[in-house]
Amino acid sequence: MTKAARTFALPIQVYYEDTDAGGIVYHANFLKFAERARTSWLHAIGWPPRRVQEDLHIQFVVKHIEIDYRNPGFLDDKITATCTLENIGNSSITFEQLIERDKTVLAALKVVCVTINAKGRPIRVPPQLRQIFGA
Amino acid sequence: MTKAARTFALPIQVYYEDTDAGGIVYHANFLKFAERARTSWLHAIGWPPRRVQEDLHIQFVVKHIEIDYRNPGFLDDKITATCTLENIGNSSITFEQLIERDKTVLAALKVVCVTINAKGRPIRVPPQLRQIFGA
Amino acid sequence: MTKAARTFALPIQVYYEDTDAGGIVYHANFLKFAERARTSWLHAIGWPPRRVQEDLHIQFVVKHIEIDYRNPGFLDDKITATCTLENIGNSSITFEQLIERDKTVLAALKVVCVTINAKGRPIRVPPQLRQIFGA
Amino acid sequence: MTKAARTFALPIQVYYEDTDAGGIVYHANFLKFAERARTSWLHAIGWPPRRVQEDLHIQFVVKHIEIDYRNPGFLDDKITATCTLENIGNSSITFEQLIERDKTVLAALKVVCVTINAKGRPIRVPPQLRQIFGA
């Protein structure tokens, strides 16, 4: 089992569905972009959400988000959602995330996820994931 | 147990989330409006989706949709999604639906739903619902 | 012109569209619920977004959000999105918002909006809105 | 200027945002997948929506959709949205589209788009696009 790089980047295309009548990317959709990057990272390390749930009997849920909107995104934009591991606590993982178009930061996020068991209770981040994420 | 009127109407407010960079309601969102009307009808007759699932062990899934887009919807529009029972078959219910702003039809839909059991197999529409919908 | 109450509450119904395969409300959708409450408040005080844009030549954009997820939301939930004016700065308005099911807080948000002109530059919150919001 | 292949295929990853509490892809989201394929095709032939609008002063709007839901989609699915040119009329383009997971068809669509001018009136599909699409 190898350690994952501590940063993951996902290219994303902005479609009509992502924009609003203000002519820009609808603000809530940046959270979707960020989630796609986190989930794609899980895919990349061999632990897609369904396998996490079936084999480890846990689920990641979002506990806290801080997001700064710095520049608008537009239809047809080719953007990148990056995800950097900031910290692994007992039952939480903190990510720093950026949504960028070339070198322009559209949004910067801090996202805290918690691992919960089937009953919805916080549970220790399992060693399988802990090891891969490099903590 | 009383029969429901064969038509149900739900008022809907158009928010930024519903629109796109073309300045109009994003076309896929009309399917959300239509689904809100069907689900609110279920609520109104005392069978919200979770009760349908828990008590009758079935679920409604959409099988077929035809939708005509007639006029654009805009931010701030106050629209109405109506839902008329067209037919109840063995395991399917067909609705005619309209999305209107005042007397202007924005979209007209024909929606076929199927009742499925926990294994995802089509199953007869249960008598409790059949009776209420008036068939 | 009268001052608005400093808090606004909007009832919201949770539909299938709002939920995800985890069986709960998808985390990004709480931002939609919060935006619906802010926009409905603008409607209630006579300044829906399109009028704000056409008459005052400004637009509100979200600049910063902090959100705490405290309890999951579920399909069929009848929730309330409240919006309390926290502060009006030169070109920004800060809201404290809660998404609640009965007395259970599902999510708590701090949302900072900025008024921008047609060129996307921050501009002073116009007196018409300042007055109504009671600042 | 070369003719485009008459079929275009786009790989799509199913994320939490695409699913609902029924544990499957939310039915309206198949329309988003289909639109991503049509728009990506425009990108591939050098006519992304913004260039179409700025250079040709037209916009594509969806006029009619028929969709058959054949099999459910699930979280983590890697699917393909294909788009086949069926017909180019005076001011309309008809596509046949499939959403597939491996060889399993999840949904089959017929989508009619119309080219409109800045005033929202139907206008002849411009020769630049007509030629590329091979009609």
Sign of CA dihedral A43, A49, A54, A55: positive
Provide the mean pLDDT of chain D.
Answer: 94
Span A72-98, mean pLDDT?
97
Nearest CA in chain A to D52: A76
Chosen from C54, C76, C83 to mutate, greatest number of chain B CBs within 10 A = C76
How far is CA C9 from each of CA A72, C6, C93, C112, D108, rounded to the nearest angstrom? Answer: 29, 10, 17, 18, 42
Q: Which residues of A are catalytic?
A: 20
H-run or E-run covering C68? strand C59-69
Q: E-strand spans in chain B? A: 7-13, 58-69, 78-88, 92-101, 104-117
Residue C8 has pLDDT above 50, yes or no: yes
**pLDDT at position B25 over 80:** yes
Identify which of B116, B65, B118 has the alpha carbon closest to the alpha carbon of residue B94: B65
Test A21 with B19 for CB contact under 8 angstroms: yes
Out of B43, B51, B76, whose CB is closest to C48?
A: B76
Task: Verify whether the Cβ–Cβ distance B76 to C49 is below 8 Å.
Answer: yes
Interface test with D, best of A10, A12, A15, A51 (most D CBs within 10 A): A15
Query: For chain A, what is the mean pLDDT?
Result: 94
pLDDT band at D33 (very low <50, low <70, confident <90, very high): very high
Indicate the domain borders of chain D. Answer: 7-133
Q: How far apart are the first and last CA of chain B?
A: 14
* pLDDT score of A130 more than 90: no
- For residue B55, report the phi and psi dihedrals to the nearest 5 degrees: -90, -35
D69 vs B59: CB contact, 8 Å cut-off? Answer: no
Whether C68 is catalytic is no
Give me the interface pTM, i.e. the ipTM. 0.94
Task: Write b or e for each residue in C13-47: b if 16 or more Cβ atoms lie within 10 A of its Cβ, otherwise e.
Answer: ebbbbbbbbbbbbbbbbbbbbbbbbbbbbbbebeb
Place of tokens 């509490």: D21
Percent of chain C with pLDDT over 90: 87
| Contact across the interface for D75 and A35, Cβ inside 8 Å | no
Question: In the predicted model, is pLDDT for residue A63 greater than 80?
Answer: yes
DSSP calls for B75-102: TT-EEEEEEEEEEE-SSEEEEEEEEEET
Check pLDDT > 70 for residue B71: yes
pLDDT tens string C37-87: 999 999 999 999 999 999 999 999 999 999 999 999 999 999 999 999 999
Percent with pLDDT over 70 in chain A: 95
The pLDDT tens digits of the residues spanning B95-117 come to 999 999 999 999 999 999 999 99
Q: Of the candidates C92, C103, C34, which has an alpha carbon nearest to the alpha carbon of residue C66?
A: C34
Q: Which residue has the tokens 């931010």?
A: B75
Predicted pLDDT of residue B4: 63
Nearest-Cα distance to chain C for B50, in Å, is 7
Range B7-133: architecture per CATH = Roll (3.10)
Nearest CB neighbour to B39, from listed C16, C39, C49: C16
Q: Could B69 and D59 be called an inter-chain contact, meaning their C-beta atoms sit closer than 8 Å? A: no
* Cβ contact, residue pair B16, A22, below 8 Å: yes
D contacts of C73 (beta carbons < 8 Å): none
- Look at residue A19 and give its three-state secondary structure: strand
Chains that touch C (3 or more CB pairs under 8 A): A, B, D
Chain B interface, best mutation among D42, D53, D67, by max B CB count within 10 A: D67
